[in-house]
Structure 1
Amino acid sequence: MTVLVTGGAGYIGSHMVLALRDAGRDVVVVDDLSTGLRSAVPANVPLVVGCVGDEALMARVIKDHGVQAIAHFAGSIVVPESVADPIDYYLNNTVRSRALIAAAVAGGVKRFLFSSTAAVYGEASSEPLSEDAPLDPVSPYGASKLMTERMLADASVAYGLSYGVLRYFNVAGADPHGRAGQSGARATHLIKVAAQAALGQRGHLECFGEDYPTRDGTCVRDYIHVSDLARAHVLALDHLADGAESFVANCGYGRGASVKEVIAAVKRASGVDFPVRKAPRRDGDPASLVADPSRIRATLGWRAEHDDLDAIVASALAWEASLAGVRRAAA
């Protein structure tokens, strides 16, 4: 089974490519390299540089490579950016996903995995959040992802497309073997920027809001290691290939860490007491998002292998240090 991985040169997509290759699967990557890096794609994996919204291109890739399943990671992911430029987010995350789904249906692809987000829930109505919680996104990012979820549900009824929607909570860390990590220059993820501050690449770290209704006033998130997430996707493909029903599942560990707790973990791992400055809240940030992972465990038999904040931080810090070494060597 050849799997098309969109956004396979990006952070999560590149880990999915590794997980698929480790499982002996054939893979082809489509990425426009707007944020992804060519170097993130293994040399033995075909890379097609282009946009998933190009329906004709997607049709050719599906036909030429005998694609039987799609794992769709391409998209825009920065919540405050989506608030500032919602039209771009609806184009990139919704309109272009519609074109990809259309190409999949026309090309006879029967299995489709979609990289969704806990942002579809908006402000948490309960904690931990189950998949049956109200869907009320508070940002265009969350709304754009929810629209694609609904397109997949409708396409399943109309065309028999089997799909899995995986709603990520906060993805972090790097491949334990040092093969991949978060490399994008514009990344805004807390653990990455905190690691950069620890390595002296930033003068300080900003803490966005300390007046949330949480245990220490800062936002709480459920951090999941990227390799655990990639493995969940491989299990999801096997699940659909076995003829199982389409599904929606949360991807998290079931407990959260606050911003201050993450900062403390990075300081422990690095041994550096880097400066932290208070900053105003960012638009579109809910106070707390913690997953109920019961469904993904029951549906896919998935179990976490890297459920430890200190270990997640250590892997991210090691990757960031390796990137810094590459940059120094190239200077």
Structure 2
Amino acid sequence: MILVTGGLGFIGSHTVRALLDLGEDCVVVQRRPRSLPAMLTGGRVAVEQADVADRDALLAIGRRHDITGIVHLAGSYPWPPAPEAPVEAARQAIDGLLNIAQAAQEWGVRRLGLAGTIGVYFGAENDGPLREDAPLPPSTSAVIPTFKKIGEMLGGYLADTTGVDIVNYRISGTWGPLGHADPFFAAPALVHAAARGTAPDLSDLAGPAFAEDGLDLNYVKDTGRAIALLQLADELNHRTYNVGSGRATTNAQLAEAIRKVVPDARIDLPSGGHTPHLVLDITRLREDTGYQPEFDTDRAAADYIAWLRAGNKA
């Protein structure tokens, strides 16, 4: 039975779905009450409400379920940033990661997966697809990449000292059903606007969006399946894996795919954009799990729009 923290969230729900499809039972851990997404109803899913920063509550779950693996997707970082109490927020984030590692050791799980981000590469030399062994900038002004780097380093230490197989997932820009507006890429806003027949609301973006802006975008169903494959692989040859599509998708390419479904979509963006695009090298993932993305941009856009038009809200 695989425990998935944040298992009723965006990427979490799709990871649980993929694990179920691969024959695994799952326990999902959520800090706040949340209804089971439709894609998980009728499946072999137990739901536990707990905060990973509460060690006793987390460890108690292992007395109620036979946990064989852990996928840690719950946010282990102070987000949104907490300027009024930064030290306490950082302490809780690190405590959550340490508690998960302790649970993995005490329960004797085979593998613990830690969710990271493509953001750890921000500022790295970028003359082609980014490999996991690329030198990373030692610091960043962004909260999430900072704590993900800390998590990777702590994970490496704990893997060496506890004997638990701890694996890092550097997840690319992910979009699709159950998702939300993202501050770093426009894909969700463009798809929602097309489905509603409105102009896109880009107010959540950290900066202006241009047609030629691009990023390694991965459809969430592919992201969830990649994580499930990493969790269940008989043997992994590395501790860190990029999880993405292995290609850049620009806003112009996405708009073209959307208009194949919604020809009159009002999603024009001004010309221009920032280069180079961040693209992940997924050779390790492909070689060690057999993973290949199933959704190209056209198929992903059509699937997401159909899901929204069916009355789903996110």
Give the Å deviation of 1:142.
Answer: 0.6
Match of 2:228 in 1: 234
Task: Output the TM-score relative to the length of structure 1.
Answer: 0.79
CA contact (8 A) 2:167 2:239 kept: yes
Secondary structure at the residue paired with 1:290? coil
1:78–1:270 distance in 2 versus 1, CA, 3 Å:
farther
Give the Å deviation of 1:95.
Answer: 3.8
Secondary structure at the residue paired with 1:15? helix
CA contact (8 A) 1:62 1:104 kept: no
Match of 1:161 in 2: 164
Match of 1:197 in 2: 193
User: What is the rounded CA distance, in whole Å, between the counterparts of 2:14 and 2:93 in structure 1?
Assistant: 20
1:243–1:197 distance in 2 versus 1, CA, 3 Å:
closer
User: What is the rounded CA distance, in whole Å, between the counterparts of 1:243 and 1:255 in structure 2?
Assistant: 26
- 2:262 aligned with 1:267, yes or no? no
User: What is the rounded CA distance, in whole Å, between the counterparts of 1:105 and 1:162 in structure 2?
Assistant: 10
1:236–1:265 distance in 2 versus 1, CA, 3 Å:
same
User: What is the rounded CA distance, in whole Å, between the counterparts of 1:62 and 1:150 in structure 2?
Assistant: 26
Consecutive unaligned residues in structure 1, runs of 5 or more = 174-180
Count of equivalent residues: 302
CA contact (8 A) 1:69 1:109 kept: yes
Give the Å deviation of 1:244.
Answer: 4.4
- 2:126 aligned with 1:123, yes or no? no
CA offsets, 1:43-67, max 9 Å, x none?
Answer: 5411112212111111011221011
1:14–1:210 distance in 2 versus 1, CA, 3 Å:
closer
Alignment RMSD, CA only? 3.3
> What letter matches 1:288 in structure 2?
H
Give the Å deviation of 1:203.
Answer: 4.5
Identity within the alignment, %: 25
Please state which structure has a larger fraction of its residues in helix.
1
- 2:246 aligned with 1:247, yes or no? no
Give the Å deviation of 1:228.
Answer: 2.0
Trace 1:21-170 onto structure 2 (pairs within 5 A). Answer: 21-33=20-32, 37-39=35-37, 41-43=40-42, 44-75=44-75, 87=86, 90=90, 93-126=93-126, 127-136=128-137, 137-170=140-173
Q: Which moved more, 1:107-116 or 1:11-20?
A: 107-116
1:296–1:92 distance in 2 versus 1, CA, 3 Å:
farther
Secondary structure at the residue paired with 2:230? helix
> What letter matches 2:192 in structure 1?
Q
Task: Output the TM-score relative to the length of structure 2.
Answer: 0.83
User: What is the rounded CA distance, in whole Å, between the counterparts of 1:291 and 1:258 in structure 2?
Assistant: 15
> What letter matches 2:29 in structure 1?
V
Give the Å deviation of 1:172.
Answer: 2.2
CA offsets, 1:230-284, max 9 Å, x none?
Answer: 2222221232xx3545521111222202233323432333223325577xx9xxx
1:130–1:245 distance in 2 versus 1, CA, 3 Å:
closer
Q: Which moved more, 1:97-106 or 1:160-169?
A: 97-106
